A and B are shown apart, each in its own frame.
Chain A
Amino acid sequence: MKKVLLALLIVTMVVGGAIGQAKVYKVGVSMPSATHGWMGNANWWAQRAEKDWEARDKAVQIELKFSGNVNQQVADIEDLLVKKVDALVVFPHDTSVTSIVEKAFNAGVYVVVLDRGVSKEGIYDIYITNDDEAYTRKGMEWLAKQMGFKGNLLLITGIPSPIDTIRTDTIKEVVKKYPNIKLLDVQPGDWNRQKSLTVMENYLQKYKQIDAVYTADDDMMLGAMQAYKESGRKDIKLFLGGGCLKSVIKEIMDDSNPLVKADVTYSPSVIATSISYAVIGVKGEKLNPNVYQVRALPRRIILPSELVTRENAKDFYVPEAPF
């Protein structure tokens, strides 16, 4: 008798629950807090995706967690799991999050992992990243062409890391194709404007004839350009950064700075894209009927890096973004 009652109770609850309210999909997002311009933009994009999705779909609840370090990130993910999120979007500080991501995936959470990734296969539903290889290949090819395939080039790189290694190696590979371009020096600027300024000051002391400077990051490009302006020299013709900070895109659009003519996208909106995929994926919906998608979404997604010049700059200008 008790069992029957219990069963009846469960059935009532399930049916009642199903009729009473539509399923709410909770999406947890964990990412680094804004420590530099690019990540500041990424945080802004996450907030924008949260606002847009919740406005357009009452069945979606998004919770953002920004963390200053990887220990905090793991704690955040644990907290999100206690809150029983249906989907989890993780922009990892580093691959230390692997075991907690695995735990989430095994618990049946729909997992989307970004960029710096996890160190184990098969513990996520989707992996989304920007294209680091194309990012510097497109940039360096453009720069080489602007230099007339000859001259002295200086490089300022980011924090030594797997991502930075891919970027730098790609640049060196492209430069090798053009024997008249001389790569004078490669020093790390740690994706930091002040550090890059110091590196550039040293470069200016050391090298008497410089034609172009490539930093693959707009923050560092602005730092390097500052050092060049202060030096009063007139030899450098081009600076190329990357990542599309608002102010840089504006200059390109208005053609207001003779030293900066192009940029390459490394989209901070990757987090908004990921949140959208998580929502679509956890609801079991499809992207678009025209892609003949049978069931699940694609597992590995690489977002393109695009060259931004005066012609297309307005497509990449986001005036509301913070940086």
Chain B
Amino acid sequence: MSATTAKKIDLEKHGALIALGALFVLASVIGWPYFIRPENLVNVMRQSSYTGIIALGMTFVIISGGIDLSVGAVAAFVASCGVLFMNWVLQAAGGNEVLAILGGVSVMIALGFAAGALNGLLITKGKIVPFIVTLGTMSIFRYLSLQMANAGEFASQSQLYGTFGMSKIFEFKVGDQAISLPIPVFTLLVLAAVLAFLLDNTRYGRYLCAVGSNARVAQYSAVRIDRVRFWAYAINGMCVGTTAALLAARFNTVSTPNFGLGFEMDAIAATIIGGTAMAGGRGSIWGTIIGVFMLQIIQNMLNMAGLSPYLQGVVKGIVIIGSVYIQKQRQ
């Protein structure tokens, strides 16, 4: 009896990982010979990491029983402010690019935190449902950025920032191909490790799940549910700020109408595919990472196979519904 239970848990724990592995094999076949090339795999990881970092924060928010629709708009807003600040420092400090980048990136993460905190406060103190609050802030931050740039672009004046956006670390060679980890992928993995520790091994993580699964019971157990919820949005905000900094560096410019457009949908989709319950209370960071990679691998594989982009969207929708359906059946 206990042996079968153990086996079941094992399957549940590693089911997603097995699915990812199966998908990888499938992608290698469908996307042959391009998908399996090291250069392409590095691309897939990098393409995943921008929305992936947001999906990590989104996991916290969804576990808490909430949702954050404002992430894409907040990314555009903080990236705009950050690039403006960076250019200002560059002028003021006489072309010290390192200082300017440090300043700009700090501003982006700090403003991301502030925007998340604003969402959190409106939800906990204002007692407005998360969907409405973040629907509102989505509009506010998107149009604030458009207003600032008159719907145009903010170009960074630092060449180094652009180089940083494309830079890689841990370079090593496989055959004659140089393989390396792009900065955004490295950031994604480090953040995932930190947040997974926070979720699985600390009191805050346990409280978060308790608040998400039954807020009233959590409250009676002397959990300060407002504070727990507030921090979920604030942490998500910092993740958004991090993505904004990395993505702005990638482009070395912020185009206010397009920056971060639709990120909320991709982040939510990855989180849900990763096994986090939409109703809250349950979820895992590593599941989200798997969800992020699965979405991107599917898209890359279909792209390599030359499927029309419209059908790619159809497949994406089927995968989102299908994976949740399978999870439901297993419970």
Encode contact with B along A158-171: 1 for CB under 8 Å, 0 otherwise.
01111000000000
A70 touches B309 (CB 8 A): no
B150 touches A65 (CB 8 A): no
By a CB distance below 8 angstroms, the chain A residues around B165 are: 99
Q: Output the least CB separation between A32 and chain B (Å).
A: 10
> Quick check: is A94 within 8 A (CB to CB) of the other chain?
yes
- With both beta carbons as reference points, the residue of chain A lying nearest to B47 in the complex is identified as A75
Q: Output the least CB separation between B222 and chain A (Å).
A: 44
Q: State which residues 155-188 of A face B: CB under 8 Å.
A: 159-162
Q: State which residues 146-171 of B face A: CB under 8 Å.
A: 150-153, 155, 162, 165-166
> Quick check: is A273 within 8 A (CB to CB) of the other chain?
no
A95 and B255 in contact (CB under 8 A), knowing A33-B309, A82-B39, A161-B152? yes
By a CB distance below 8 angstroms, the chain A residues around B299 are: 75
B262 touches A94 (CB 8 A): no
A95 touches B34 (CB 8 A): no
Number of A residues contacting the other chain (C-beta, 8 Å)? 30
Q: Bound complex: CA of A217 vs CA of B162, how far in Å? A: 36
> Quick check: is B257 within 8 A (CB to CB) of the other chain?
yes
Q: Bound complex: CA of A65 vs CA of B312, how far in Å? A: 11
Q: Output the least CB separation between B314 and chain A (Å).
A: 13
Q: Bound complex: CA of A96 vs CA of B40, how far in Å? A: 21
Partner of A79, one of B152, B155, B303: B303
By a CB distance below 8 angstroms, the chain A residues around B151 are: 159-161
A96 and B152 in contact (CB under 8 A), knowing A79-B40, A82-B43? no
Q: Bound complex: CA of A103 vs CA of B262, how far in Å? A: 26
**Looking at the complex, which of B128-136, B231-239, B246-254 is the stretch in contact with chain A?**
B246-254
B303 touches A65 (CB 8 A): yes
Partner of A33, one of B150, B152, B310: B310
B253 touches A96 (CB 8 A): yes
A98 touches B150 (CB 8 A): no
- With both beta carbons as reference points, the residue of chain A lying nearest to B162 in the complex is identified as A99
A71 and B50 in contact (CB under 8 A), knowing A99-B165, A160-B150? yes
B43 touches A63 (CB 8 A): no
Q: Bound complex: CA of A93 vs CA of B150, how far in Å? A: 17
A119 and B310 in contact (CB under 8 A), knowing A82-B37, A96-B258, A162-B152? no
Partner of B309, one of A65, A74, A83: A65
A98 touches B255 (CB 8 A): no
B166 touches A99 (CB 8 A): yes
Encode contact with A along B266-291: 1 for CB under 8 Å, 0 otherwise.
00000000000000000000000000
> Quick check: is B175 within 8 A (CB to CB) of the other chain?
no
Encode contact with A along B39-51: 1 for CB under 8 Å, 0 otherwise.
1100100010010
By a CB distance below 8 angstroms, the chain A residues around B257 are: 94, 159
Partner of A119, one of B50, B250, B253, B309: B253
Q: Bound complex: CA of A33 vs CA of B313, how far in Å? A: 12
> Quick check: is A322 within 8 A (CB to CB) of the other chain?
no
Q: Bound complex: CA of A75 vs CA of B304, how far in Å? A: 11
Encode contact with A along B293-305: 1 for CB under 8 Å, 0 otherwise.
0000001100110
Encode contact with B along A60-103: 1 for CB under 8 Å, 0 otherwise.
00010111111110111011001100000000011111110001
> Quick check: is B261 within 8 A (CB to CB) of the other chain?
yes
Encode contact with B along A213-227: 1 for CB under 8 Å, 0 otherwise.
000000000000000
- List 19 additional contacts besides A75-B299, A79-B34; criterion CB under 8 Å: A33-B310, A66-B309, A68-B309, A69-B261, A70-B261, A75-B47, A78-B47, A79-B303, A82-B34, A82-B37, A83-B304, A93-B258, A94-B153, A95-B155, A96-B153, A96-B259, A99-B165, A103-B166, A162-B152
CB-based closest 5 A-B pairs: A96-B251, A160-B151, A94-B255, A82-B40, A78-B43
Can you list 14 A-B pairs, Cβ within 8 angstroms, ordered by A?
A63-B306, A68-B309, A68-B313, A70-B251, A70-B261, A76-B303, A78-B47, A83-B34, A95-B155, A98-B252, A98-B253, A99-B162, A99-B165, A103-B166
